[in-house]
Amino acid sequence: MKSFIVLSALVAVAFAAPQFQQYQPQPQYQGQEIPILKQTQEINPDRSYQYSYETGNGIAAQEQGYLKNAGVKDAEAQVAQGSFSYSSPEGVPISVSYIADENGFRAEGAHLPTPPPTPEAILRALAYIDSRPQQPQQPQYQQQAFQQQGFPQGFRG
Q: pTM above the 0.85 mark?
A: no
**Using one digit for the tens of pLDDT, what is the confidence trace for 106-130?**
999 988 888 899 999 999 999 999 9
Query: Has residue 79 been placed in a domain?
Result: yes
Query: Has residue 118 been placed in a domain?
Result: yes
**Using one digit for the tens of pLDDT, what is the confidence trace for 36-46?**
999 999 999 98
Q: How many domains does the chain have?
A: 1
Residue 79 lies in domain: 33-130
Query: Has residue 8 been placed in a domain?
Result: no
The predicted model gives 65-90 an average pLDDT of: 90
Query: Has residue 102 been placed in a domain?
Result: yes
The string of DSSP letters for the chain reads: -HHHHHHHHHHHHHHHSPPP----PPPTTTTSPPPEEEEEEEE-TTS-EEEEEEETTS-EEEEEEEEETTT-TTT-EEEEEEEEEEE-TTS-EEEEEEEEETTEEEEE-TTS--PPPPPHHHHHHHHHHHHSPP-----HHHHHHHHHTT--TT---
